[in-house]
Amino acid sequence: MFHIKNDNWIGRVSAFQATKTLENGAEYIKGTVNEAVVLPPKDKVAGSYHWDFERLLSLSLIPLTITSVVNGAHPITDLCLGVILPFHCHLGFDAMITDYYPSRRSPVLNKVLTWSLRGATLIALYGCYEFNTNDVGMTELVKKVWHA
């Protein structure tokens, strides 16, 4: 609490009030009170392209689900569902990991969770493929469970 970052008085006051190191707080002041926050490096892939892709998958799931409900099982819609659903869920869970365990605050846990999620998505993709190919298919499964 009493770490003194700068020699000047203002720096000392702000250091007393708000300086928290990375280990024990979500927020910490870098630099003096007069310096603007430095925005992270620009990366469209992680930025707007990622957001666009998320919304694209979400939107495509709407007609896909409707046709599956109305039309019943069909190999193509099952294939699309079996690919898009795991990716959609992966992006959703990944957003949660970024929110609650960002790499700047919990570097190890973030890595562990991200890679576990990737592994789980791969297993889900494989599982959907197996189920769609050698079993009744996803739409048929939902139908069976619904009417069971």
**Structural contact between residues 125 and 83, judged by C-beta atoms closer than 8 angstroms:** yes
CB of residue 101 to other proteins, shortest distance in Å: 10
Between 16 and 115, whose beta carbon lies closer to other proteins?
Answer: 16
Q: Which of 91, 78, 92, 98 is nearest to 138 (CA)?
A: 78
Q: How far is the CB of 91 from other proteins (least distance, A)?
A: 12
The answer to whether 49 is annotated as binding is no
Is 1 or 108 the residue whose CB approaches other proteins more closely?
A: 1
Comparing CB distances to other proteins, the nearer of 20 and 118 is: 20
Q: Which two tokens stand for residue 41?
A: 């490096």
How many angstroms separate the CA atoms of 46 and 119, rounded?
20
In the complex, minimum distance from the CB of residue 53 to other proteins, in angstroms, rounded to a whole number: 10
Toward other proteins, which CB reaches closer, 30 or 147? 30
Report the nearest approach of other proteins to the CB of residue 93 (Å): 13
Query: Which residue, chain included where needed, has tokens 């294939």?
Result: 79
Confirm whether residue 88 is marked as ligand binding: yes
> What burial class does residue 19 get, using C-beta atoms within 10 Å of its C-beta: 0-12 exposed, 13-18 middle, 19+ buried?
middle
Half-sphere exposure of 67 (CA within 13 A, CB side): 12
Nearest to 116 by CA among 96, 131, 135: 96
In the complex, which residues of this chain contact other proteins (CB under 8 A)? 1, 14, 16-18, 20, 26-29, 31, 33, 35-44, 46-48, 50-52, 55, 95, 98-100, 102, 104
Task: State the binding site for a ubiquinone.
Answer: 100
Task: State the binding site for heme b.
Answer: 88
